[in-house]
Chain A
Amino acid sequence: MLTDRILTLITFVPIGGALVVALLPRRGRVIQIFTLLVTLLTFGLSLHLPVHFDYAQHGFQFVENEAWVANPAIRYHLGVDGLSLWLVLLTTFLAPIGVLVSWRAIETRTKEFYFLFLLQQTAMIGVFVALDMILYYGFWELSLVPMAILIAMFGPGKGRQAAIKFFLYTFLPSALLLVAILWLYAKTGTFEFSQLQSLLASGSLGVSSTALAWASLAFLVAFAVKVPVFPLHGWLADVIQEAPTAMAMVVAGKLGLYSIFRFNLGLFPAQSRAIAPLMIALAVIGILYGALLALAQSDMKRLVAYSILGNLSFCILGIFCFALTGLNGAVFQTLNEGVTGGALLVLVSFLYERYGTYDMSLYGGLAGKLPMLATLYVITGLALVGLPLLNGFVGEFLVLSGSFPVHPAWVGVATLGVILSASYMLWMVQRIFYGQPSPLVTNRVSMDLNAREHLTLWPMAVLMLAMGVLSPYWIKAIDGAMSGLANPASLSATHAVPTPTLRAALPAAPVTEKP
């Protein structure tokens, strides 16, 4: 049956498409159309997952498990749970959008672009579904290569430098991650995630806690760089500035955050708790630092980059407070960041295609000329600042309400970030769309969104609204995975605070209703 191998299909259809792209003629829009079909097919296949997912069960589903290399024992082991389910969906959802946004932006060297684009899809999906550490590591490292080459190829300014910076920032810590994985193998004799998890949890390995702490740190640093977490964010702004929009949309956030959830929380719960105070401090600094830097930017793309840094720091805050609500919020916020941050990058790139600059000071009064674009820009901006009924609100609310009882002081400071992010976002909208039309805007005739651009943006806008209104649909799967991860019983025992139950904390409920 085809559906027995659904995860293999979803993972490898893109790379199969890439091989076909390599053989297609460079004529007309053949390559674009073909890639769009491949990504739509992948998305269609991935819709199988939420439909047939058993929400009552918390373990891995759609599992495929067979031997790959006999000795050392590496297995081809795939599976999804409530955490990876939505991340796979997010990836396959953003892929056709990535093709559409590149439609006009990438006019030359399309074969190279779409080949690497599809390769990147396979690598990202593989990261989310692999349950063998070496298979996972394979996809994780593979995801760096197409990204780096694409940044080098298409970066308008210092593309090569940005590509190398990105690669080294992420590759060096990954080398230490490999040391840690191999060390775990030497101690346990397995690369399988579930076996490692139970062996580590049993505490019967006879390894010193110091060694385990170092191993967990190697994991954490490798992932934190990829998120990125302050102060490891040095690559982010340059990469977002230089990368093609379709790549900038996926470079930050989900891969690193997913890995922290899966491996740091899954394999090293005690060590993660031990380092939590530091991570919370870094998250709060990241929230404020990102927001303040975003306020200071006049370049739209850099502003978006720093706003992404701030929003991702919210996820880190939610994770390391170890409250179920906060964890759910962090996952939800990871998804939000993919959709909303991606939409914002798409909008910015549409402006760039019309006016050829990212400099906000040259814009002004666009709302009258491009009403549709302005509308969608405002919707996206409002989703990002956390307006109720849109997705950003759910994520931020869950994170803040979940973590407030645990660390009231830090969370109180972090709330300032919400205010700051509203300020820079609204200020950006005001500078670009309102006020007197600038010379740039009056001198150049530009059309409002065309059909392709509508097609690019509306799915994301609809999703923002859907995730804001119908959030329980997403949360029910996430909640299962998170309660499995961070055992609520031990949570309340450690922190001696009542964990607000999920249903009570859903956005429809006012804050005061918390138990």
Chain B
Amino acid sequence: MNALRILPEIVLTVAGILVMLADATMAKAASRKPLGWLAVLGALAALGASLWQYSLPPGTAYFDVVRTDAFSVFFHVLIAGIVLAALLITLDSVSDTTEGLGELFALMLFGSVGMMFMTCATELLLIFIALEISSISTYIMAGFRRKSAKSPESALKYFLLGSFATAFFLYGIALIFGATGSTSIDFLAAHAAASHTPWLLYVGLAMIVIGLGFKVSAAPFHVWTPDVYEGAPSPVVALMSTGPKAAAFAVLLRIVYGALPFLHAHWVPILWWLAVLSMTIGNLGALRQRNVKRMLAYSSIAHAGYLLVAFTAFSADGIAAASFYAVSYAAMNVGIFAVISHAGGYDDRLTLLDDYRGLAYRSPLLGGAMALFLVSLIGIPFTGGFFGKFYVFAAALHSGLVWLTIIGLVNSGIAAFYYLRVVTAVYARPAETAPVMSIPRPSLPLLIALFLTAATTLVLGIVPQNVLSAAQAAARTYSSVSQPLPTPAPGSAMNTASR
């Protein structure tokens, strides 16, 4: 029974080990692409196992360090989906002779094991170990294009700042242990309020927020993001801009809503400022970029800000909105990096805005897909991006955060400018002077990845009900905000917005 509660993790680990073993036994010159398909199978199995976990009754395993509930399963499914798409994108962009491909596939699987454990662990030390598994895999993957100058630089920068942030996180755990004598989230939720040294708790919480703020690239802990996204291979960026972030947001939810909800008077203002700074700095930074990958890095900072808005709502609606947003952001961001990775190739030939001029004429499919994902990133209705923003800001307004909502939506207006610049470039006439870049025909894995992400984006925008119900079920696992989800009777005047 214990093992079933971590079945997706076991599946991924086994698949990762198989890929590594096969890689070691294969002839040196042999193509490693079949290993990619093996990894895809592993991810598919993990996706199936995660979905199957919905049929498990909620409960804990392994001395209560792991909990499977609607919340953890929701994020398991999301992470399995992300790694599946990222593997497909990798398969499309690499060639038979790309160096170290077997390791790359294995690392993607191992990294997602770490992300999955982050979302189901209820013990701060296990969260820390999972965070390390996920981070170290990502550091290595960021530097995978060894021949390019930027990729190792990106990896080193990511590693140095990342370890620093993890240290903050660990120190925070230590302080919380000092204040309460426990690192179990359930124990903290029940007893931390009675701590004799609350200031230790405050400092510990602040440290943890800094550590996680780095992982989700929230301003002012965001400085690494543009350089790392620019240097890392695009398929890896597709994974690391969504998977570890979703996992880190899940951890943040577990800690602030699960373990320390009684401190909300302290962390809500902190997260309020982080949200405002991330949205504003992210969007203003993106305005100046000519490099599409750097622009998307700043945009991911801004999106982290939108997600943090949901946190500050301090309500079940806020948790549901954050979870929903994580899915919709993952779909559109993985999708757009699929396009960039295919158009630019593994060695990033096309990264400047001008390179994308007239993309829609060289490849109507890629151009159309890129436009769809950008439109979703803007937040135009009938795409996932709209409902993501809608739920986030509806939750914020419901909690009376009028100014935060105005700042957020004005920000989304600013953001429209730089996304639209890419859309118009994609559909503008190709510049006559520009050299015509040949774009290879989309391969089968790319088509699957594009279909998955585009379909998710549209489904979330047109029939969001199922995912929303799952997110609301995830939110209901938090007793700290157990006030009923507002189901206002149609027509009844409710004055619940005053908190």
**A interface residues, Cβ below 8 angstroms from B:** 69-73, 109, 111-112, 134, 137-139, 141-142, 144-145, 148-149, 152-153, 159-160, 163-164, 167-168, 171-172, 174-176, 178-179, 182-183, 185-190, 192, 195, 198-199, 204-206
Contacts of A187 in B (CB 8 A): 493-495, 497
Main SS class of interface, B: helix
Q: Which residue of B lies closest to A185 (CB)?
A: B394
Q: Return A212 CB to nearest CB of chain B, in Å.
A: 13
Q: Return B231 CB to nearest CB of chain A, in Å.
A: 29
Contacts of A168 in B (CB 8 A): 413, 416-417, 420
B397 at the interface (CB under 8 A from A): yes
Q: How far is the CA of A171 from the CA of B410 in the complex (A)?
A: 10
B112 at the interface (CB under 8 A from A): no
Do A142 and B490 have beta carbons less than 8 Å apart? no
Do A176 and B410 have beta carbons less than 8 Å apart? yes
B382 at the interface (CB under 8 A from A): yes
Q: Return A377 CB to nearest CB of chain B, in Å.
A: 32
8 A-B pairs besides A145-B380, A148-B424 with CB distance below 8 A are: A152-B424, A159-B428, A163-B420, A164-B421, A171-B413, A174-B413, A182-B405, A185-B397
Do B490 and A195 have beta carbons less than 8 Å apart? yes
Partner of A182, one of B397, B490, B492, B496: B397
Partner of B424, one of A142, A164, A174: A164
Partner of A206, one of B420, B427, B490, B495: B495
Once A69-B465, A164-B424, A205-B493 are accepted as A-B contacts, the answer to whether A149 and B397 lie under 8 Å apart by CB is no
Do A179 and B371 have beta carbons less than 8 Å apart? no
Do A188 and B402 have beta carbons less than 8 Å apart? no
Contacts of A206 in B (CB 8 A): 493, 495
Once A138-B386, A172-B410, A189-B486 are accepted as A-B contacts, the answer to whether A199 and B493 lie under 8 Å apart by CB is yes
Contacts of A204 in B (CB 8 A): 493
Main SS class of interface, A: helix
B239 at the interface (CB under 8 A from A): no
Do A70 and B465 have beta carbons less than 8 Å apart? yes
Q: How far is the CA of A70 from the CA of B472 in the complex (A)?
A: 12
Do A163 and B424 have beta carbons less than 8 Å apart? yes
Partner of A137, one of B381, B423, B490, B497: B381
Q: How far is the CA of A167 from the CA of B428 in the complex (A)?
A: 16
Q: How far is the CA of A172 from the CA of B378 in the complex (A)?
A: 11
30 contacts between A and B (CB under 8 A): A70-B465, A72-B486, A73-B487, A109-B361, A112-B427, A137-B381, A141-B381, A142-B380, A142-B381, A148-B420, A159-B424, A159-B428, A163-B424, A168-B413, A168-B417, A172-B410, A176-B406, A178-B390, A178-B409, A182-B405, A185-B394, A185-B397, A186-B397, A186-B497, A187-B497, A188-B493, A189-B488, A190-B491, A195-B491, A199-B491
Q: Return B348 CB to nearest CB of chain A, in Å.
A: 25
Partner of B410, one of A153, A175, A185: A175
Contacts of A142 in B (CB 8 A): 380-382
Q: How far is the CA of A111 from the CA of B360 in the complex (A)?
A: 11
Contacts of B416 in A (CB 8 A): 167-168, 171-172
Q: Which residue of B lies closest to A195 (CB)?
A: B491
Do B413 and A172 have beta carbons less than 8 Å apart? yes
Q: How far is the CA of A170 from the CA of B336 in the complex (A)?
A: 25
B398 at the interface (CB under 8 A from A): yes
B280 at the interface (CB under 8 A from A): no
Q: Return B293 CB to nearest CB of chain A, in Å.
A: 21
Q: Return A406 CB to nearest CB of chain B, in Å.
A: 34
